[in-house]
Structure 1
């Protein structure tokens, strides 16, 4: 007899432990996705600040070569914002799907119904979107590294003689 008969049916401990373990998986995934979203948003804010500084530099540029390089750099930064926007969108969808998976587990345990296909769908979408968000973040990182190499090569180029 269970000490709390109204709360838990007479289930084996292994079954209840497995239910708790399974229910916690989407919660841990959601925590990781939240951390990734924080990282993506911070990075997007830094790129946005860099766009503002580059735009100010473009307004103050003296030569056509400087303006051309700054416009190229702005185009590069704009592409990075699109990649980070996509990473944030995919991360948010992944987080919502992880919440949905936890909710489906909760409903399934309450109603004792067959919700396995909903669970697989929600958790699958969460995993797919998280992988997509990480892929967009990798693309942004590659773009940032490429931009850093380009900026470094600009500073090493000899300045035109006036």
Structure 2
């Protein structure tokens, strides 16, 4: 017989907490994608900003327009990152409540339900913000393709 035996109640709480832990892993992967996209937008912003000072008026208008688009993309990315982080924090609180309720023998069913619903709502909002950022990005690429078609 093993020296360490997990009591049935705590084993059940660990089983219940596994799903939110997987959700945390998914949110972490999403945050990784979002921060990489934001980094690329910031890099493009910096390169345009550096070129802005030494260009003619026509090129300046094009760069300023693109900077406006990049600004909107950054806003959506930042919002998605902030909301995803909040969702991850709420999921962490759910896990804490699950274990605290078991340790203190207090019913946390309502609090866990409300927190989980809040986490999912915040995550949905983050995903919508991410979708808007992708939409702006792909619309910009489509315009570039149309410009290339007119030049040939």
TM-score bracket for this pair, using the shorter chain length: 0.7 to 0.9
Distance in structure 1 (CA, Å) of the matches to 2:142 and 2:91: 38
Q: Which moved more, 1:124-133 or 1:96-105?
A: 124-133
Matched, 1:105 2:98: yes
Find out whether 1:116 has 2:109 as its counterpart: yes
Q: Which has the higher helix share?
A: 2
How big is each residue's C-alpha offset from its partner over 1:1-60, in whole Å with a ceiling of 9 and x where there is no partner? xx889962xx5xxx7664332111111111111111111111101000000111122222
Structure 1 moving runs of 4+ over 6 Å? 3-6
Contact 2:10 2:102 in 1 (8 A): no
Q: Residue 27 of structure 1 is aligned with which of 13, 21, 25?
A: 21
Two-structure CA RMSD over aligned residues (Å): 2.3
Partner in structure 2 of residue 92 of structure 1:
85
- Which segments of 5 or more consecutive residues in structure 2 lack a partner in the other structure? none
Q: Deviations over 1:102-141 (max 9, x none)?
A: 0000111111211111101221121111111111111110
**Long gaps (5+) in structure 1:** none
Shift of 1:65: 2.1
Query: Could you tell me how far apart the structure 1 residues matched to 2:23 and 2:138 are?
Result: 28
1:81 maps to 74
Q: 2:54 aligns with which of 55, 60, 67?
A: 60
Preserved CA contact (<8 Å) 2:13 2:99? no
Higher relative contact order (CA 8 A, sep 6+): 2
In structure 2, the residue corresponding to 1:67 is in which secondary structure? helix
Aligned to 1:143: 136
Paired residue secondary structure (1:60) = coil
Give yes or no for the alignment of 1:126 onto 2:131.
no
